[in-house]
Structure 1
Amino acid sequence: MNVQRRHGHAAVRAAALVGCTTLVLSLTGTTAQAEARDLGREVLAAGDGWASEGAGTTGGSAADAEHVYTVTTWEEFKAALKAGGDAPKIIKIKGMIDAVAQGCEAFEAEGYDFQQYLADYDPAVWGHDTPVSGEQEDLRDASADNQDKAIKASVPSNTTIVGVGENSGILGGSLQIKAVHNVILRNLHIEAPIDCFPQWDPTDGARGAWNSKYDGVVVYGSTHVWIDHNTLTDGRYPDSSLPKYFGEIYQQHDGLLDIVRGANYVTVSWNSLENHDKTMLIGNSDSTAADDTGKLKVTLHHNRFKGLVERAPRVRFGQVDSYNNHFVVTKDQSYGYTFGIGIESRLYATDNAFTLAPGVSVGKVLKKWKEAPLTAENNYVNGRLTDLIAVHNAEIPGETLQSGAGWKPTLRTHVHPPQAIPWLVDHRAGSGRLS
């Protein structure tokens, strides 16, 4: 079966040239305009993804002067979030603010000793049949609770959070957009939080595993959220730098951007998500049908997903529209899959570009977790028009996927030719690149 078809080089070059020329023209002369803009007052454009449904997403754009804050520390940021309740507010983050500037030691409960923890729960001593318990596990749990209270920041309704300039954002904090409405995050550099106290679970798999918590951003049961022009990454602490204990990676990262528990009407646009493992869940469990059925409507467009292992995204239940994104799998990185097809999901993935390193199987772009149809059309892999479903079914016959999501997106901005997407997205996605 010939499932990849090469279009003429001239057509590809022409489409890419159109996209590149458009971008150059859009960038010319915009610096002064960008400097004069007040990002906090900007709202999501009509028709820009699921978050534009109904009354749209305006965040804190209507804030009065009393509810506009500029913060330079984590403490100031958390205080600004609490001030004024749900009244419209704009929070401008200036510079990189650090949620764990004092170090992990500041969260340790008295008596906690990691070396003793390793000694007590070494599989040679504890085995693999029973979850860990006892004094050091209790102290680890208390230490984890201290960190939890310190690094989580709850975002209220009607809030816009923006980075000032080209290098502002959050190190090691976890933004909780939970059970609220109408939130905007823009122009932020977000370094995923490190779990200082992962738990050893000897019963997780045949060898046991270290389990961590804390997402960089989690949208939980919230509606009308716009996440735009941010960079989310493991930053200074890539998984490759993490040690091993008991023969397993001491995993200190969880999700990068998760959208779960009945969240609805979310647009994720022009972000760069880089160098992470468990990147994005849309729907966090097969057992949450009561919360998620009819919800989890999410649009992903013009994002760069680079150096990611899996979940870009993994979808359950939701009607997810993914278009004009660039997915990059680099040489020698770990790679599991890009799109995870989960229970009752209806993924509509078109007009995307994939750049896969030599030797990376195209069939792994899709991963079937449960029976659910999807639409995957006009996607390009290394410059070639590729039927992702046909390739997957040919290469992985035990996981046959069905074509046809049963719906068609109507809330889309301009759809660019997918041949132009690698250049366009790589030059404009991420923080510090608003124009």
Structure 2
Amino acid sequence: MKAQKWHGHATVRAAALIGCTALVLSMTGTTAQAHTRDVTRQTLGADDGWGSYGTGTTGGAAADAAHVYTVTTWTQFKAALADGGTAPKIIKVKGTIDAVSEGCDAFAAPGYDFDAYLAKYSPQAWGLDTDLSAEPDDSPEGLRRASAANQDTAIKANIPANTTVIGVGKNAGFKGASLQIKAVDNVIVRNLAFESPLDCFPQWDPTDGTNGNWNSEYDTAVVYGSTHVWLDHNTFTDGSHPDGAAPTYFGMLYQQHDGELDIVRGADYVTASWNVFTEHDKTILIGNSDSESTAVGDRGHLKVTFHHNLFSGLVERAPRVRFGQVDSYNNHFVADEGYSYSFGIGKESQLVAEHNAFTLPDGISAAKTLKRWNVSPLTADDNYVNGTLTDLIAVHNAEIPAEALESGAGWTPTLRTKVDPAKAVPGIVDCGAGAGRLH
């Protein structure tokens, strides 16, 4: 998917941006802006989504002066994360920090050669019946594994409990990094532009599908078994490496991206507000497996709220949901010709999707906004498609009766601040969402 596809909505976007400045200044009830003028110490407001449940989400708001950092390099960022353990900390990111500034070659294990990899594992030479898991360490696959391990260590950053990571100044963000919010409580990530990490060493799996497939690692951000997380006013994009520009090998796309945001392994109490998710394929995954061993830890968890986010130029998973009670309201979904679906209805999911707006181009039906992976009831009321009130479930069932959906998620969200009229959502969200728009 090429970055310029968004340009096809230029007229819609231009109209939505009229009066943006006045609109942003007038918005209320959407974040914790009233709590303090120092945005680096802002906390998630009361009743602002699942992240506000119980003890709420305060991040590093209580940090003392010794635990407030300003970082401009990847090394400084990792050092700040490691300093002070779980004491409250605020990390201010200034400028764009590149986690892969030396390029992919810096991670390559001695002897690794991509041409040799292609030669050995081509379908003509290797076939499509045997995966590569048993390949020895000195084989092309073994050297790829070693190279991938080097990248894994280099680009992942573990965010400790009681931490706020926030962009300051202009153009703050990360390129090629993977933030790991893993088994911790109380984290805030705000006002950052993320360019999705590029897997330098994707793995070829001959047994994946009929023709084999390239599989990649590294989500931009992962919430793994963590609680009380607030992601706000960030921008997630593939940036300078869109899938549409990727080559093909063995007749399959050389996929170097994974997800933009995964919330998995019993994670709970997450609010994602005023973010932009754009130009990506597999965008957001909530619950990573249908397996019973995973389900044991996910049932009763994965409670997530999405509000006032812009989802544009995506293929799928905005989000795809398993198990969780997910509340998605006041979001704007802008599709293009590469669109597959927005909401994925997965195993035992309890999705409430209300007061959202969809902008779909000619030729894409509102029936595609929902995709059924498993039979799980959902609530989908008061949603507008191209300015018209539309019953998404009814349209889906009429056009795709073999994958009929049931109405009624079985719960009613109560943790919401100001709910805007769905018809006004495109103008409000397009004006206010994303990095650089935090006031």
TM-score of the two chains, using structure 1 as the length reference: 0.92
Among candidates 286, 289, 299, match of residue 293 of structure 1: 299
Distance change (3 Å), C-alpha of 1:25 and 1:232: closer
Among candidates 213, 216, 226, match of residue 217 of structure 2: 213
> Does 2:332 align with 1:326?
yes
* 1:101-180 matched pairs, under 5 angstroms: 101-132=101-132, 133-134=135-136, 135-180=139-184
* 1:395-414 matched pairs, under 5 angstroms: 395-414=399-418
Distance change (3 Å), C-alpha of 1:137 and 1:396: same
| Cα RMSD, aligned residues only | 1.8
Q: Within 2, Cα distance between the matches of 1:205 and 1:360?
A: 27
Look up the match of 2:388: 384
Q: Within 1, Cα distance between the matches of 2:195 and 2:285?
A: 18
Alignment-mate amino acid for residue 306 of structure 2: L
Q: CA deviation at 1:360?
A: 0.7
Among candidates 262, 268, 274, match of residue 264 of structure 1: 268
Q: Within 2, Cα distance between the matches of 1:309 and 1:86?
A: 38
Q: CA deviation at 1:21?
A: 9.8
Cα pair 2:70 2:94 within 8 Å, conserved: yes
Cα pair 1:116 1:136 within 8 Å, conserved: yes
Among candidates 310, 320, 343, match of residue 304 of structure 1: 310
Q: CA deviation at 1:237?
A: 0.5
Distance change (3 Å), C-alpha of 1:106 and 1:398: same
Where do 5+ consecutive residues of structure 1 fail to align? Answer: 1-15, 28-32
Q: Within 1, Cα distance between the matches of 2:348 and 2:26?
A: 40
Q: CA deviation at 1:68?
A: 0.3
Q: Within 2, Cα distance between the matches of 1:204 and 1:335?
A: 23
Q: Within 2, Cα distance between the matches of 1:25 and 1:230?
A: 18
Q: CA deviation at 1:37?
A: 3.8
Cα pair 2:20 2:431 within 8 Å, conserved: no
Look up the match of 2:80: 80
Q: CA deviation at 1:25?
A: 5.0
Among candidates 358, 361, 380, match of residue 357 of structure 1: 361
Could you list the structure 1 runs, at least 4 aligned residues long, displaced by more than 6 angstroms after superposition. 19-22
1:287-309 deviation per Cα after TM superposition (whole angstroms, max 9, x unaligned): 11111000000000000000010
1:393-434 deviation per Cα after TM superposition (whole angstroms, max 9, x unaligned): 000000010000010000001000011111110010000001
* 1:175-254 matched pairs, under 5 angstroms: 175-254=179-258
Cα pair 1:193 1:215 within 8 Å, conserved: yes
Q: CA deviation at 1:361?
A: 1.8
Look up the match of 1:64: 64
Q: Within 2, Cα distance between the matches of 1:385 and 1:303?
A: 19
1:155-202 deviation per Cα after TM superposition (whole angstroms, max 9, x unaligned): 000000000123101000000000000000000001110000000001
Alignment-mate amino acid for residue 23 of structure 2: L
Distance change (3 Å), C-alpha of 1:105 and 1:24: closer
Look up the match of 1:417: 421
Cα pair 1:20 1:420 within 8 Å, conserved: no
1:304-332 deviation per Cα after TM superposition (whole angstroms, max 9, x unaligned): 000010000000000000000000002x3
Distance change (3 Å), C-alpha of 1:151 and 1:312: same
Q: Within 2, Cα distance between the matches of 1:190 and 1:24?
A: 22
* 1:334-353 matched pairs, under 5 angstroms: 334-353=338-357
Alignment-mate amino acid for residue 235 of structure 2: T
Look up the match of 1:3: none
* 1:7-22 matched pairs, under 5 angstroms: none
Cα pair 2:24 2:428 within 8 Å, conserved: no
- Percent identity between matched residues is 69
Q: CA deviation at 1:20?
A: 7.2
* 1:364-379 matched pairs, under 5 angstroms: 364-379=368-383
Q: Within 2, Cα distance between the matches of 1:59 and 1:24?
A: 25
Q: Within 2, Cα distance between the matches of 1:55 and 1:335?
A: 38
Tell me the secondary structure at the aligned position of residue 169 of structure 2: coil
Tell me the secondary structure at the aligned position of residue 85 of structure 2: coil
TM-score of the two chains, using structure 2 as the length reference: 0.91
Cα pair 1:156 1:180 within 8 Å, conserved: yes
Cα pair 1:316 1:341 within 8 Å, conserved: yes
Q: Within 1, Cα distance between the matches of 2:24 and 2:326?
A: 30
Tell me the secondary structure at the aligned position of residue 170 of structure 2: coil
